[in-house]
Structure 1
Amino acid sequence: MPQISAFRGLRYNLGQVGSLSSVVAPPYDVIDPGLQQQLYDANEYNVVRLILNRDEAGDGEHNNRYTRAAKLYKQWCRDAVLTPENDPAIYVYHQHYTANGQEYTRRGFMCRCRLERFGEGNIYPHEETHGGAKADRLKLWKACRANLSQIFGLYPDNFNQAQVILESAIAGHTPLEATDHLGVVNKIWPVTDIETITMLEAAISQLPIYIADGHHRYETACNLRDEIAAEYQAKHGKELPYDHPANYVLMMCVSMSDPGMQILPTHRLFRGLPPMTAEQLIEKLGESFETEPAGNGPDRALSLWEEIEVEDEQGTLAFYTAEDDAWTLARITETGEAKLAEVASEMSDDWRSLGVSILHRLVMDTLLAVPNLPAPKYVRALSEVPEGLRAGDSAGRDLTGQEGSGGRFELACLVMPATVEHIRQISSNGERMPAKSTYFYPKVLSGLVINPVE
């Protein structure tokens, strides 16, 4: 595992802000305008004002949402709204949540993780990213000189030995607690005991890290490190010191074997295709899929997904065609697998076995021959599938940060999520899954701990 270290994180002074719940926020890329307003209204010190400050009339090069965020950040530090930990700490982080009618607790820890470029060490990406997001985060982090939110990393630990060390250290101690807008209860414990931290470092020293969430923020941290190193070289005539905080990034680390680990599906709603009926879709799928009618109407998505989950096969997809309001169940055949091997010969069998790979490379790019569509609307909650299909022309920020272009969603697809084992195999192959192959729930909160890089 790359080098981790304890650090003196910046945390909210509850004497200044009141409830911790009122100042935290989910990652910026899942905050739509409505939630942004809700967070703005929750507390004048809510971290959304740093991670996703509003655009305002008259914004320009020297006065914009990045400069406003930096000004607030510095002011909050001066006014002791944000205060540094007394001693370097590792932050144990629990998230208690409900999914599929069951309660879970995901356990991990936040630390500084030494940066290394993908392909140069033991940190691996697992899916493709969007370039615009990296440019946006670089502007923000460069202005603030701080990691305002964590990277989410996974590491293999079959017996969760690293986390057991930390759980022993926090036993009997009262956590700081924040409940987010979805009802997830987030708890953190700063651990400053040097012996515990040393034991943790030893337990994970030989393990790789797979980036679960925050690829673009990780790459942004590398770019910011390079810029700060260049500035330091120009000013001091020597390299950035090894232990300079810019050489590290704030990371939440969770064992792949943690009982609270859940990966939820991300379904797709597509615009930009010509209208087609289920019959026309089946014709295009040809011998690559066995197909069967699967009902009608947007609400059929709910019960149909239950059937797909029970089947639990990556090669089983469900398509909705808006032209005739129909659902079609499609299962990949040996012919389809051979076709995918032909058109994605550069990829491994592991990659080609993914439902999202089958959907995008075989179906969308090859059989439907629409490789350059606008980014689909990525849907996390199943209930949003029928809502999206009915609304059709509703605008709003999707997970790519793009605004909806309006118009009917001509096609929708329900697709199985990748598993933790898929992440391990495909990342270790040096490959990346298609964008939004995974949705890790719950999201790690911004505002619990901030990592200064200067």
Structure 2
Amino acid sequence: MNYAGPEEETPARIGLELTPFQGLRYDPDRVGSLAAVTSPPYDVIVRPDGLLELESADPYNIVRLILPQDHSPAARNQQAADTLRRWRAEGVLTTDTEPGLYVYEQRDGDLLQRGVIGTLRLSEPADGVVLPHEDVMPHIVADRADLMRATSANLEPLLLTYRGDASGCGTAAVVEKTATLPPLLATTTEDGISHRLWAVTDPAGLAEIRADLGRHQALIADGHHRWATYLRLRAEHPSPSPWDYGLVLLVDTARYPLRVRAIHRLLHRLPVAEALAALGDTFRVRRLDVPLSEALESLASAAADGNAFLLAGDGAFHLIDLPSPDLLARTIPAGHPEAWRTLDATVLHATLLDHVWGIPEDSPEHIAYIHDTVATVEKAEHDGGTAVLMHPVREEVVRDLARQGVTMPRKSTSFGPKPASGLVLRALTS
């Protein structure tokens, strides 16, 4: 079956169904500051330094819910559930009195992004309503499912994108009108990004958004593991139930284009010297004794002509490119579109990790996925491992593959800016 692309309209019967909910939010009078209780999404936090920094920012920081710390997974999840229950009982987190959708704005210098947070009726990829573009790791889905079961809450929204029309009507009109009003909250986080949140509760505005979104489908920009978790938990609960819906942020990228960045790999147990030696003559290797910024420019230049990666961890950068065509033919799975077969992430996982280096991609003991470039290099140098720095894939490639129903290798892209965790939560039980 052929599906419309994320930028195309879909029949109303299979469109997006975004539903109002009573948001669970921090009482600003009970916390040090709203900025101090927020966090990046759970998978962006650089452990352990980033985690410790967030925990020390405020005793009520959301990281205590999304990444609880204890001696076992069961104990961690129970701790998160107990913490959430206590914060609600103490009034640290309070429930909004009226169901609504939430207009969410992020501003980072010249970049402005606005979207709508609500609970989205869940659908399978085959339905063509919400399209994934990346594979997921089963152990992460299992971990997130255990946490959601324990807390009975959606603690942070996924980031989904759709392509609105140019008329400025429907959802766009409601969003822009709402953004002229005084917000429910406004704060600026440590990274310099300002955040504002409004509630849309009037029936006319909600109806306009519902009718408009019902004509569209969405692409998962960030949160594939949480989406897979939503689907798993929905299957565990007889319908109808609150588990039929999941918390999302929907952004119209026709009005607010996202940034697409790479997600890097840290190979814990592979020193750079061993990684280079294993390559033999299958890749061209060039040592770059230059600052990180210049090394990334060289990577971008090489990536324009084909597959290229930067290896780091020994105090220098090593640009590897021009992989052997014979090696690629032997290691890249057939039966996929050419756009998938030539992805850097495909070559990294199928050729380098699986064949050359023999590293299991789903083992946290061997590999970590890190968004921050500097942090990836620093950790590799500190731990004696290898940082594999990636060049970002173009957004149009992601959309084209999603239209074809083809998923990219896991952790292939990083869309942003991502919603801050802690501004609005969803409790599935009262």
Aligned residues: 408
Q: Distance in 2 between matches of 1:113 and 1:419?
A: 27
- Per-residue Cα deviation, 1:47-83 (whole angstroms, up to 9, x for no partner): 2222222205xx696xx22222222322332333222
Q: Which residue of 1 aligns with 2:404?
A: 429
Choose which of 352, 358, 369 in structure 2 pairs with 1:370: 358
Q: Which runs of 5+ in 1 are unaligned?
A: 230-239, 286-290, 394-407
- Per-residue Cα deviation, 1:256-293 (whole angstroms, up to 9, x for no partner): 334451111223343545844868735123xxxxx363
User: Cα distance 1:209–1:330, how it changes in 2: closer, same or farther (>3 A)?
Assistant: same
Choose which of 339, 344, 355 in structure 1 pairs with 2:329: 339
1:413-424 alignment, distance < 5 Å = 413-424=388-399
Q: Which residue of 1 aligns with 2:192?
A: 183
Q: Distance in 1 between matches of 2:120 and 2:184?
A: 23
Q: Which residue of 2 aligns with 1:293?
A: 286
Whether the 8 Å CA contact 1:147–1:451 is kept in 2: the answer is: yes
1:58-207 alignment, distance < 5 Å = 64-97=75-108, 103-157=110-164, 159=166, 162-207=171-216
Q: Which runs of 5+ in 2 are unaligned?
A: 1-14
Q: Which residue of 2 aligns with 1:441?
A: 416
Amino acid at match of 1:53: P
**Cα deviation, residue 303, structure 1:** 0.4
User: Cα distance 1:187–1:324, how it changes in 2: closer, same or farther (>3 A)?
Assistant: closer
**Cα deviation, residue 136, structure 1:** 1.8
Q: Secondary structure at the match of 2:104?
A: strand
**Cα deviation, residue 252, structure 1:** 0.7
Whichever of the two has the greater Rg, that structure is: 1
User: Cα distance 1:324–1:221, how it changes in 2: closer, same or farther (>3 A)?
Assistant: closer
Q: Distance in 1 between matches of 2:305 and 2:212?
A: 34
Q: Which residue of 1 aligns with 2:6?
A: none
Q: Distance in 1 between matches of 2:126 and 2:292?
A: 40
1:389-404 alignment, distance < 5 Å = 389-391=380-382, 393=383
Choose which of 337, 342, 345 in structure 2 pairs with 1:356: 345
- Per-residue Cα deviation, 1:290-311 (whole angstroms, up to 9, x for no partner): x363523xx5443021233356
Whether the 8 Å CA contact 1:155–1:255 is kept in 2: the answer is: yes
Q: Distance in 1 between matches of 2:142 and 2:277?
A: 43
User: Cα distance 1:73–1:273, how it changes in 2: closer, same or farther (>3 A)?
Assistant: closer
Amino acid at match of 1:176: L
Q: Which residue of 1 aligns with 2:39?
A: 25
**Cα deviation, residue 44, structure 1:** 2.8
Identity %: 28
Whether the 8 Å CA contact 2:55–2:63 is kept in 1: the answer is: yes
Choose which of 246, 253, 256 in structure 2 pairs with 1:256: 253
User: Cα distance 1:130–1:186, how it changes in 2: closer, same or farther (>3 A)?
Assistant: same
Q: Distance in 2 between matches of 1:45 and 1:279?
A: 48
Q: Secondary structure at the match of 1:15?
A: coil
TM-score (norm 2): 0.84
Amino acid at match of 1:370: G
Amino acid at match of 1:284: T
The reply to whether residue 48 of structure 1 matches residue 48 of structure 2 is: no
The reply to whether residue 3 of structure 1 matches residue 17 of structure 2 is: yes
Whether the 8 Å CA contact 1:276–1:322 is kept in 2: the answer is: no
- Per-residue Cα deviation, 1:384-435 (whole angstroms, up to 9, x for no partner): 35423432x2xxxxxxxxxxxxxx32x5433221232222111222222112
Q: Which residue of 2 aligns with 1:234?
A: none
Q: Distance in 1 between matches of 2:389 and 2:115?
A: 30
Q: Which residue of 2 aligns with 1:224?
A: 233
Q: Distance in 1 between matches of 2:323 and 2:225?
A: 32
Q: CA RMSD in A?
A: 3.0
Q: Secondary structure at the match of 1:448?
A: coil
**Cα deviation, residue 23, structure 1:** 1.9
- Per-residue Cα deviation, 1:4-59 (whole angstroms, up to 9, x for no partner): 11111111222333521122222222332333333333333222222222205xx6
Q: Distance in 2 between matches of 1:421 and 1:337?
A: 27
User: Cα distance 1:345–1:137, how it changes in 2: closer, same or farther (>3 A)?
Assistant: same
Whether the 8 Å CA contact 2:266–2:369 is kept in 1: the answer is: yes
